[in-house]
Structure 1
């Protein structure tokens, strides 16, 4: 049966769902269908910010980034992220520090030209880039961080094949903004 999606709101520390009156089974189906979109819009848990370090495979490019120990990363399936299998988290540009290797970086742009895909011209690894979704931020490849500072990674899906709808639905734009 066709039901309208439940409305969701965060009240204090609780997630409140307002579900249209219906049978119990239909109610459960309605909530289950809406839950992924609701979870993607939940604000990240405020956590102590630490300094992570990382870089490319050959270590010619090195950086530091201020971010929580628990990272919220994005698994995107756009044409380039799909080919690279890139899972990344996004921070404001002011929380990213390139320590070494600017001269070893090459840049690739395509499509709209907004995203700046930067990679090491020695080993080819893209440790970070400036994403189309957050041109004022920096997307860090999770697997390019040095071990020891990350406690966990929550991976959220971003449908890069339907970029506009996913951008509007996921809340990704807020990732490069200061809290």
Structure 2
């Protein structure tokens, strides 16, 4: 329900990349063990792409890394190297937000759960609609 959503601002360390999202004040963040997330130490929560807005001239400071299927878009700041958000392979219509990159003051509760990103395809049905439905249940 949109009335339960609040505005969260955030971005990278050097503040060249800034964004705004709408999500509940209480979120579940997923600590992923895929090769990329585990090496970066990333823990994130997802929002639908229509609730994400890149602010100002942030786009010029972004670069993107892809690998494998090139579905996931791992964005990071060209200046400081921080990945404050990315497009996950398991939900290419959403935006994964690195919870540590949300400005203080608007997240009132955070629960961290484990997400088996190395084996997520094996854990869900081979039917793509089931994959999307399962992952959307994880989105705030």
TM-score by length of 1: 0.69
Q: Which has the higher contact order (CA 8 A, sep 6+)?
A: 2
**2:111 pairs with 1:154:** yes
Q: Which runs of 5+ in 2 are unaligned?
A: 126-130
Shift of 1:47: 7.8
Report the alpha carbon displacement of residue 175 of structure 1 after superposing the two structures with TM.
Answer: 4.4
Point out 4+ residue stretches in structure 1 off by more than 6 angstroms. Answer: none
Q: Give runs of aligned pairs for residues 100-179 of structure 1, distance below 5 A.
A: 100=56, 101-166=58-123, 171-175=134-138
Structure 1 regions of 5+ residues with no counterpart?
A: 1-45
Aligned length: 133
How far apart in 2 are the matches of 1:111 and 1:74? 21
Deviation at 1:122, TM superposition (A): 0.2
What TM-score does the superposition give when structure 2 sets the normalisation length?
0.87
- Let me know the Cα RMSD of the aligned residues: 2.3
> Residue 87 and residue 167 in structure 1: after superposition, are their counterparts in 2 closer, same or farther (change >3 A)?
farther
More helix by share: 1
